[in-house]
C-alpha cells in the first residue's frame, strides 16, 4: 500500500525537513543605500491631506535617519488649509513619531519642513510659490532642483500640472531652475480617454522624462527582485515557459474594507483600483522577456510588449472568464465587520465589486496556452500579495506502480507582502520502509541574514525620483495599453443586463466567492 504524504504549508517546514535555509553573502557596503542625490526641494501639493502625513513625511524622515537624503534638502508643503510652518510641523510630528521609536533626529529634520497656503487653480498662487522656492534655493543651497509631488485627488492632477507650467515651475535649467520632476499618484485616469487627456495636459508643460507615475507596488523589495531572480540565475529561466509551467497565480488580497475611501471606491471598484495598475504590473514582470539592459527604457520596452500581447478579453462570455464579488458582513481577525453596502458613504444598493478574479492569456511563443489567474479583493482571509508559479506534473509515470498516477507538482512562490520571500516546493521520500512522498521546501527570506537599512516602498520610490531613475514608475505607453485591455471589461460589466448575476457576494474574512474557485479548477483541468 502506498500514499503521497502531504505536509502542511508552513513557514517552519523547511527548517524541520531540509537542513539549512538559503544562505547569502553579506551585502556590499555600496549596496546598502544609494549615495545622496543632488541638493533639491520636494514640493508636496496637497500636503494637508492624509497621504502626506501617513506616507510621505514618514518616508522622508526614515531616509533622513538612514542618511539617504542630500545635506541640502528642503520640503515645502502646499495646501488650501491655512497652516503656519510650526502648525504643519506639529501635524507631521504626531504622525511620524507614532510609528517611529527613534525621535532623536526629529528636531534636526523638522526645520527642513515649510508650508504655504495655495489655491490649486490659481496661477498667482503658483507664481508666489515660485518666488518662495527661489528664496529657499538662495538660503538653503538647493540649486533650483525640484520635485513636485501631486498628493491630490485625481481630478486636480491636470489643473496643478497646468498651473506649474504657466508659472514657469516646469521649466528645467532656466530662470534659476535646475532639474524639475513631477510625481503623479494613481489612479492615472478613470479610463483610457481620461488618461490620454491627462497626459496631454501634463505634456504641455513637462516632457516624458520629467514625469514619474508612481505605483508603490513596484518599489517593494520582492517585486524589484523578480527580474534579478529570473535573469541573474541560470536555473529557472530555461523553464520559464509553456513547456514547464501549468499556470500562474498573481494574488493581492486585503483584510481591510473600503475604510474612508467610499467616495473614490464607489466610482472605481476593484478593476480600476487594482487590476489596471498593480496586477498588470506584476503580470508584466512575471511574463516579460529579458531586457537588453537593466535600465529604465529597456525594462519598460519589454513590459509594453507584454501588454501588447495580452489576448483581448472575451467580453462576450464574461461568466466563463471573470468572477466579481462584493463582501458582506463577516469576521476579520476575530472582529465582526460590516458588509460593503453598510459602509459609510456607500450606496445601500451598490453593485460595485470589491473582489475580482480573471484569467488572462498572452499570445506569445513563451506563454501560449498558459493561464494567468489575477485575483484581488478586500476583506479577505489575510493580507497577502504573492506570485505563484505552478509547474507541470512530471510527464513520465516512473513511479505509477508505487505511487500511483499523481505526483504533486513543484510550486515556486514569490511572496511580496506581508513576508518577502521566495519558496520552492519539491518532492522527497519520507523516511521509512514504504515508498511515500512528502512535500518539502527551500526558502529564502529577505529579512534573514541582513542587518542593513531596509527601504519601504515609498522610501524607495522617492529616492529613485531624486536620482532620476524611472524604472519603478509607469511610462505613458504602458498606461495607455493597460487601459486598452481593461476598458472593454469595464464597459461590458457596467452595461451588463444582469449585473446581480455577475456580482456575487462573499463573507468578509473568507477567500472570496466560491465561483472563483470553481472557475479556476475548471480552467486548470482544461489546460492539463
Residue-level pLDDT at 222: 75
How far apart, in whole angstroms, are the C-alpha atoms of residue 304 and residue 68? 32
Whether residue 310 sits in one domain with residue 390: yes
CATH number at residue 254: 3.30.360.10
Q: Examine residue 211 and state whether it is found in any structural domain, yes or no.
A: no
Whether residue 223 sits in one domain with residue 354: yes
Whether residue 312 sits in one domain with residue 169: no
Q: DSSP for 179-228? A: -EEEEEPSP--SSHHHHHHHHHHHHTTS-GGGEEEE-GGGGSHHHHHHHH
Q: Examine residue 451 and state whether it is found in any structural domain, yes or no.
A: no
Q: Examine residue 289 and state whether it is found in any structural domain, yes or no.
A: yes
Whether residue 110 sits in one domain with residue 178: yes
Q: Which residues contact 146 (CB under 8 A, 6 or more apart)?
A: 40, 41, 42, 43, 133, 169, 177, 178, 179, 180, 181
How far apart, in whole angstroms, are the C-alpha atoms of residue 121 and residue 194? 19
Q: Examine residue 354 and state whether it is found in any structural domain, yes or no.
A: yes
**CA 47 vs CA 56, 422, 431, 473: distances in Å:** 9, 37, 62, 21
Q: Examine residue 145 and state whether it is found in any structural domain, yes or no.
A: yes
Grid coordinates of 176: 534659476
Q: Determine how many CB atoms are found less than 10 A away from the CB of residue 292.
A: 11
Whether residue 287 sits in one domain with residue 168: no
Beta carbons of 83 and 51 less than 8 angstroms apart: no
Q: If you compute the radius of gyration of the chain from its CA atoms, what whole number of angstroms results? A: 25
CATH number at residue 139: 3.40.50.720
CA nearest to 215, candidates 124, 126, 303, 139: 303
Grid coordinates of 419: 513576508
How far apart, in whole angstroms, are the C-alpha atoms of residue 5 and residue 204? 63
Whether residue 236 sits in one domain with residue 109: no
Whether residue 41 sits in one domain with residue 123: yes
Whether residue 312 sits in one domain with residue 259: yes
Residue-level pLDDT at 156: 94
Q: Which phi and psi (to 5°) does residue 406 adopt?
A: -110, 125
Q: Determine how many CB atoms are found less than 10 A away from the CB of residue 476.
A: 17
Beta carbons of 168 and 136 less than 8 angstroms apart: no
**CA 95 vs CA 90, 275, 365, 517: distances in Å:** 9, 30, 50, 41
Q: Examine residue 449 and state whether it is found in any structural domain, yes or no.
A: no
Residue-level pLDDT at 91: 93
Whether residue 276 sits in one domain with residue 168: no
Grid coordinates of 417: 507582502
pTM: 0.88
**Per-block mean pLDDT, blocks of 10 residues, the chain (528 long):** 39 35 49 73 95 93 91 96 95 84 86 96 95 94 96 94 95 86 92 95 96 87 84 91 96 93 91 94 96 93 98 88 94 94 94 95 97 96 94 77 72 90 85 72 82 82 93 94 96 81 91 84 67
Q: Which of 278, 316, 421, 467 is catalytic?
A: 278
Q: Examine residue 18 and state whether it is found in any structural domain, yes or no.
A: no
Grid coordinates of 80: 488650501
Pairing of the two strands 330-332 and 146-150: unpaired
The angle subtended at Cα 46 by Cα 43 and Cα 48, nearest 5°, is 110
Residue 251's DSSP bridge partners are 375, 386
Whether residue 236 sits in one domain with residue 126: no
The angle subtended at Cα 482 by Cα 349 and Cα 524, nearest 5°, is 80
How far apart, in whole angstroms, are the C-alpha atoms of residue 272 and residue 285? 20
How far apart, in whole angstroms, are the C-alpha atoms of residue 508 and residue 102? 37
How far apart, in whole angstroms, are the C-alpha atoms of residue 56 and residue 7? 43
Q: Determine how many CB atoms are found less than 10 A away from the CB of residue 302.
A: 17
Q: DSSP for 118-177? A: --TT-HHHHHHHHHHHHHHHHHH--TT-EEEEE-S-GGGHHHHHHHHHHTTTT-SSSTT-
Residue 426's DSSP bridge partners are 440
Side-by-side strand order, sheet with 180-184:
113-117, 73-79, 40-45, 146-150, 180-184, 211-214, 473-474
278 is catalytic: yes
Q: Examine residue 515 and state whether it is found in any structural domain, yes or no.
A: yes
* Structural domains counted in the chain: 2
Q: Which structural domain range is residue 505 located in?
A: 218-401+411-426+475-527
**CA 298 vs CA 103, 105, 234: distances in Å:** 42, 40, 21
Whether residue 354 sits in one domain with residue 263: yes
Whether residue 306 sits in one domain with residue 175: no
Amino acid at each position: 500500500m502506498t500514499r503521497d504524504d502531504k505536509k502542511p504549508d508552513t513557514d517552519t517546514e523547511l527548517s524541520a525537513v531540509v537542513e539549512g535555509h538559503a544562505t547569502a553573502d553579506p551585502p556590499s557596503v555600496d549596496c546598502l543605500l544609494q549615495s545622496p542625490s543632488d541638493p533639491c526641494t520636494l514640493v508636496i501639493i496637497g500636503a494637508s491631506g492624509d497621504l502626506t502625513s501617513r506616507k510621505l513625511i514618514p518616508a522622508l524622515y526614515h531616509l533622513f535617519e538612514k542618511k539617504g537624503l542630500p545635506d541640502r534638502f528642503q520640503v515645502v508643503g502646499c495646501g488650501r488649509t491655512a497652516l503656519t510652518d510650526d502648525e504643519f510641523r506639529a501635524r507631521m510630528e504626531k504622525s511620524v513619531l507614532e510609528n517611529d521609536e527613534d525621535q532623536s533626529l526629529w528636531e534636526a529634520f523638522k526645520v527642513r519642513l515649510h508650508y504655504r497656503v495655495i489655491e490649486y487653480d490659481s496661477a498667482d498662487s503658483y507664481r508666489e510659490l515660485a518666488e518662495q522656492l527661489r528664496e529657499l534655493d538662495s538660503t538653503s543651497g538647493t540649486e533650483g532642483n525640484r520635485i513636485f509631488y501631486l498628493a491630490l485627488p485625481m481630478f486636480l492632477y491636470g489643473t496643478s500640472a497646468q498651473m506649474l507650467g504657466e508659472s514657469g515651475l516646469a521649466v528645467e535649467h532656466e530662470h534659476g531652475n535646475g532639474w524639475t520632476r513631477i510625481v503623479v499618484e494613481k489612479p492615472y485616469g478613470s479610463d483610457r480617454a481620461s488618461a490620454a487627456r491627462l497626459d496631454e495636459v501634463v505634456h504641455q508643460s513637462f516632457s516624458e522624462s520629467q514625469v514619474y507615475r508612481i505605483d508603490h507596488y513596484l518599489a517593494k523589495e520582492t517585486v524589484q527582485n523578480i527580474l534579478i531572480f529570473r535573469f541573474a540565475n541560470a536555473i529557472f529561466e530555461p523553464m520559464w515557459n509553456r513547456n514547464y509551467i501549468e499556470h500562474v497565480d498573481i494574488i493581492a488580497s486585503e483584510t481591510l474594507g473600503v475604510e474612508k475611501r467610499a467616495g473614490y471606491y464607489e466610482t472605481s471598484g476593484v478593476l480600476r483600483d487594482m487590476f489596471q495598475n498593480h496586477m498588470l504590473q506584476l503580470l508584466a514582470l512575471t511574463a516579460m522577456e529579458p531586457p537588453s539592459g537593466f535600465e529604465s527604457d529597456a525594462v519598460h520596452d519589454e513590459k509594453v510588449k507584454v501588454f501588447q500581447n495580452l489576448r483581448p478579453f472575451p467580453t462576450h462570455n464574461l461568466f466563463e472568464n471573470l468572477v466579481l464579488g462584493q463582501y458582506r458582513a463577516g469576521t476579520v481577525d476575530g472582529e465582526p465587520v460590516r458588509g460593503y453596502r453598510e459602509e459609510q458613504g456607500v450606496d445601500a444598493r451598490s453593485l460595485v465589486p470589491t473582489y475580482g478574479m480573471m484569467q488572462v492569456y498572452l499570445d506569445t511563443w513563451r506563454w501560449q496556452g498558459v493561464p494567468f489567474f489575477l485575483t484581488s479583493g478586500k476583506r479577505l482571509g489575510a493580507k497577502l500579495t504573492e506570485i505563484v508559479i505552478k509547474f507541470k506534473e512530471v510527464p513520465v509515470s516512473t513511479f505509477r506502480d508505487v505511487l500511483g498516477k499523481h505526483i504533486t507538482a513543484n510550486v515556486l512562490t514569490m511572496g511580496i507582502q506581508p513576508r518577502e520571500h521566495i519558496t520552492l516546493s519539491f518532492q522527497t521520500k519520507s523516511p521509512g520502509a514504504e515508498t511515500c512522498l512528502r512535500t518539502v521546501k527551500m526558502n529564502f527570506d529577505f529579512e534573514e541574514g541582513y542587518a542593513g537599512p531596509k527601504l519601504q516602498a515609498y522610501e524607495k520610490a522617492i529616492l529613485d525620483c531624486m536620482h532620476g531613475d524611472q524604472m519603478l514608475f509607469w511610462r505613458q505607453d504602458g498606461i495607455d495599453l493597460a487601459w486598452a485591455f481593461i476598458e472593454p471589461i469595464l464597459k461590458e460589466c457596467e452595461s451588463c443586463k444582469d449585473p446581480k448575476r455577475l456580482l456575487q457576494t462573499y463573507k468578509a474574512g473568507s477567500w472570496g466567492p466560491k465561483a472563483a474557485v470553481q472557475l479556476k479548477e475548471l480552467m486548470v483541468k482544461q489546460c492539463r
